[in-house]
Amino acid sequence: MDTLPLLIVIIFCIVGSACFSASETAFSTMNRIRMKNLADNGNNRAAIALKLVDQYDKLISTILIGNNIVNILSSSLATVVFTMWLQDVGVSVSTVVMTIVVLIFGEISPKTVAKENAEAFALATARLMQALMIILTPINFVFSQWKKLLDHVFKKKTEPGITAEELITMVDEAQSDGGIDEHNGELIRSAIEFDDLDANDIITPRVDLVAVEKDTPMEEVSNIFMKSTYSRLPVYEDNIDKIIGMVHEKDFFTAYHNGAKSLSHCIKPVIYVSSGMKISRLLRLIQQSKTHIAVVVDEFGGTEGIVTLEDILEQLVGNIWDEHDIVEQDIEKLNDTTYVVSGSCSLENFFETFDLPQKEDTYESITVGGWVMEELGCVPDIGAQFTFEGHQVTVTQVEKRHVKEIQIRLAKPLEQTSESDKQES
């Protein structure tokens, strides 16, 4: 018997197996966003591919049915051919040869190539898979009923959608692959983490507020504006716990030059919020109220501090400096082991910079100054010291009963610490 036709059919089956295997990988790993963009630009095959992925259970059944048909057919025909060639040992040789051939050419190789070119393979096989799904509809119907039975027996646990941590991981991977640059990656991460921040995380505390009393003479207010360089000042009545509004620099000087004798005609309203309010909600409130300042109050109605529109936007785009701002660094390096740190520096940023261990909810404070007072258990004097994780911390500036600046002397240079950690890992 001539074995050539059988060999041609076997080769055709191996090619079919490769096609099904590549399609399985391509449709499961393709970038849906990229494919949607192609479909929106008029690519019909991309539209078909998206439609197939939306029916993934039916698609995967079609692929598995087709793959098994060609694999079983090729193995059966190979057994016939090798039995004709080698008689008694033909079955054993056929099993070994076809296992190797199917694994290499029908599974591993096509799946490897398809993983690296998922969109191209999905586009190339979209019409074929669509046609096979139609042809195999009766069989797919049987398997879909079987799947429903299995789902009923083994009930699936409800899983949450994509979490913020997973989104950040996706952004990190896209940045590593070169899909987005570092600046855009940081912007996306800031947007994802935006809703995790409370007003208390970005507050300007009351001890740092520059505010004016309602009855302050206009000339004195003018001097405060000139000295502080702020464009807006909170206005209080009697004491700082009773902020009644704010005055804008432009409104003030317009009134001042027109001969106004008091601030009452240029005071604008502010909104009052709790320290636990999410800044995403606070941003909407500020937009709705058409003001730039929100006063953060405690449970007793006292002033904790203020949050400005600029404070909120800086959480998305980073620090916004204008021509009058004095650029201050939260962490300044003096030498390889010594750093000066602002008391207002974010505690999270501080711990990350110096690779210090931090357990959640270990500290109530959110700034370095508050952390130092928690560690010392008091309002420290200048020169107060303590050791943390082998590093020496010294208080260098104290103002208005809060720590304004510290100096940290590391046990070893930061670069050396990072390198040794990498070696250990």
Structural domains of the chain ordered from first start: 4-153 (no CATH), 164-196 (no CATH), 203-317 (3.10.580.10), 331-424 (3.30.465.10)
| Pairing state between β 293-297 and 271-274 | parallel
Spell out the per-residue pLDDT of the chain, length 425, in tens.
577 889 899 999 999 999 999 999 999 888 888 889 999 998 999 999 999 988 888 898 899 999 999 999 999 999 998 888 888 888 899 999 999 999 999 899 999 999 888 999 999 999 999 999 899 888 888 877 887 787 777 776 655 566 767 777 777 777 777 777 777 777 777 777 777 788 888 888 888 889 999 999 999 999 998 888 888 999 999 899 999 999 999 999 998 888 888 888 889 999 999 988 998 889 899 989 888 899 999 888 889 999 998 888 888 777 665 555 555 678 888 888 899 998 888 888 888 888 888 755 677 787 888 889 988 888 888 999 999 888 999 999 988 778 889 999 998 887 644 444 433 43
Its pTM surpasses 0.85? no
